[in-house]
Chain A
């Protein structure tokens, strides 16, 4: 119903675009005055005034109507069955809703009444929004139609609308950030009401098994986050150990030494690595690298866990090679040619130029590339979920199995706990910590680039 309305509206606004164009043509012809704005601006002015109010109203309705209908249904149930508890009302409500979707059968007369009520509430609210938005749209359209004159400044009106929508689009980033921070903070505060914040940040034991029922045999639920952060740090360090030298040196080779032909082939190939989905890296880590490491470790007498930090770290390092190499490649290329020539004129070899002139000049960019790669590695999920362990293990030994923050978030959220159990909330607390860490790294890298970037230009 609503989609049909929106499609019709879209068609009408399309038509009104051409109508506006013809209207202004005719007026110009009749009045023999040169027009202010071009035809298409008048057309756009009409069609935007027709469609935008409806779209805004529909979006508001889509966001609010489920809640309104929900509470209507609830009060209806409460009125007809006054002795039900709140939980029972909620269960009945979701039963009615799934019966409406055809998932559950309508088995009683009472049920049928509720489903009918829900159905008619839905229909009424849809009709209501269609009529309201059609009225508003038409009145806006008539208003716009009334204002079209030969000397009317339609262009600036249209441009204002476009500019406003652009500003709105830019603000989506801020809204998203606020959304993330708010939702994480709310759940994290809930979590810290159950678990002390010092226990979380400095506790050495992580075993988030809590008893869901009174009589269940389970641990106390220990939420000390140190072991899992150590795991993440260990894996990330291994990854950086692989990625920084390989990425940086290949960037130096590509920008300073290689012939253009080799660069034209090798650079896109390196960037292929960046385009591979992380789940494929996860497979590679779990099915190829980890068994290989275990077997080769066994042959030299080392006992490696098959979920060792080494396997996950190695593959994560491979994943961030292209990030480091392409970012540092850009930075190295941005170093002015005059510096290279000056260094060559002083008689230094190419490697001396690189080491003593170019790297210092490009250092802020390279550091920020490494920090970005670091935050990528810390937040990487799929590789560690597939290749790292689950048990929290406080160790710095790369051959043992460790777990990572992202793995724990995934593990905590899988399964049927209540939404406000400490286990689920712990995931939010971990996510919030992760968000803060990556945020700090990003801000630091942006700060470094801004502070030192233009020094050599």
Chain B
């Protein structure tokens, strides 16, 4: 009877042991799974941003424009050159409204690419060139399948007409996906397809630099003093408690301090 009782109790205790172990393992696994989810979800949603859709347009300068270019590249009306070249690829598009829609496929900064191309290759002025310029952000999203083509027209930012122009461009092989170096070489912009991180990166580096210069010597000196040299008295105790507190003060309070002082 007693033996039986001990055995039941022992089995119960072993079961509790097993349960506790499972709880703690699953807590750890859960934490690691969350980490994996977080990193992969950030990575998956950021990967499309590293590529960019470009549209190739046939550009040919007429004699007037070449003359203007030789005088001063700023004189050339690059926007109209871009528009005319792009429209000439779609001879069927005639009305103003359609042309406007067509032009919206290109980024508003597309003409800068054309200008850059001619500045880099002045010997190609009279030729018939295919120049790849960034597509607008909507086109970018559509080709990356982030905008759903099957939605009704008024629920997406890109019209059926524009999709048919795009299909024509795709079939004539004028859509190119490239790595978007602009992300690192441009600063912020209102146009998503032209925006980059350069300003942000430089600003962050400068802030880090200043922070390091200020905090590193002060922090190391204070640490050496408090740990190795200072006598253990009330004053150093206050300093240590103070440092602990400062570490836990919310950053927004430091922000308020900055606002009030500077």
Q: Do these two chains really belong together in a complex? A: yes
Please tell me if the beta carbons of B230 and A253 are within 8 angstroms of each other in the complex.
Answer: no
Interface size, A (range) = 35 or more
Q: How far is the CA of A270 from the CA of B245 in the complex (A)?
A: 25
Please tell me if the beta carbons of B225 and A253 are within 8 angstroms of each other in the complex.
Answer: no
**B16 contact from A186, A351, A434, Cβ within 8 A:** A351
Residues of B within 8 A of A431 (CB): 252-253, 256
**Chain B, range 9-53, C-beta contacts under 8 Å to A:** 13-14, 16-17, 19-21, 23-25, 27-28, 30-32, 34-35, 38, 41-42, 45
Please tell me if the beta carbons of A280 and B42 are within 8 angstroms of each other in the complex.
Answer: yes
Q: Does B210 contact A (CB under 8 A)?
A: no
**Contact code string A226-263 (vs B, CB < 8 Å = 1, else 0):** 00000000000000000001111110111011100000
Main secondary structure of the interface of A (DSSP, over half): helix
Q: Does A273 contact B (CB under 8 A)?
A: yes
Interface segment among B111-119, B169-177, B181-189, B234-242: the answer is B234-242
Interface segment among A75-83, A117-125, A394-402, A436-444: the answer is A436-444
Please tell me if the beta carbons of A257 and B21 are within 8 angstroms of each other in the complex.
Answer: yes
Residues of B within 8 A of A249 (CB): 23-24, 27-28
Q: Does A47 contact B (CB under 8 A)?
A: no
**Contact code string B221-239 (vs A, CB < 8 Å = 1, else 0):** 1101110011000001011
Please tell me if the beta carbons of A170 and B241 are within 8 angstroms of each other in the complex.
Answer: no
**A169 contact from B13, B20, B225, B242, Cβ within 8 A:** B225
Q: How far is the CB of A93 from chain B (nearest CB, A)?
A: 18
B241 (CB) vs chain A CBs: closest residue: A446
Please tell me if the beta carbons of B257 and A180 are within 8 angstroms of each other in the complex.
Answer: yes
Q: How far is the CA of A75 from the CA of B143 in the complex (A)?
A: 64
Residues of B within 8 A of A406 (CB): 250, 252
Q: Does A284 contact B (CB under 8 A)?
A: yes
Q: How far is the CA of A372 from the CA of B221 in the complex (A)?
A: 26
**A379 contact from B28, B42, B243, B251, Cβ within 8 A:** B251
Q: How far is the CA of A176 from the CA of B246 in the complex (A)?
A: 8
Q: Does B259 contact A (CB under 8 A)?
A: yes
Q: Does A225 contact B (CB under 8 A)?
A: no
Q: How far is the CA of A431 from the CA of B249 in the complex (A)?
A: 10
Known A-B contacts: A250-B31, A381-B251. Give 16 more (CB < 8 A): A166-B221, A167-B225, A169-B218, A169-B225, A170-B222, A170-B236, A180-B254, A180-B257, A249-B23, A257-B25, A270-B31, A284-B42, A349-B14, A352-B17, A379-B253, A428-B256
Taking Cβ atoms with an 8 Å cutoff, the residues of A that contact B are 163, 165-174, 176-177, 179-180, 183-184, 186-187, 245-250, 252-254, 256-258, 266, 269-270, 272-273, 276, 280-281, 283-284, 287-288, 318, 321, 325, 349-352, 354-355, 372, 375-376, 378-381, 406, 409-410, 413, 427-428, 431, 434-435, 438-439, 441-443, 446
Closest 7 CB pairs of A and B: A379-B250, A249-B27, A166-B225, A351-B20, A253-B24, A183-B260, A169-B221
Q: List 23 A-B contacts (CB under 8 A).
A: A166-B229, A169-B219, A170-B221, A170-B222, A170-B239, A183-B261, A187-B260, A248-B27, A253-B28, A256-B24, A270-B28, A283-B42, A284-B38, A351-B16, A375-B248, A379-B249, A409-B252, A409-B256, A431-B256, A438-B248, A438-B249, A438-B250, A443-B245
Taking Cβ atoms with an 8 Å cutoff, the residues of B that contact A are 13-14, 16-17, 19-21, 23-25, 27-28, 30-32, 34-35, 38, 41-42, 45, 217-219, 221-222, 224-226, 229-230, 236, 238-239, 241-246, 248-254, 256-257, 259-261
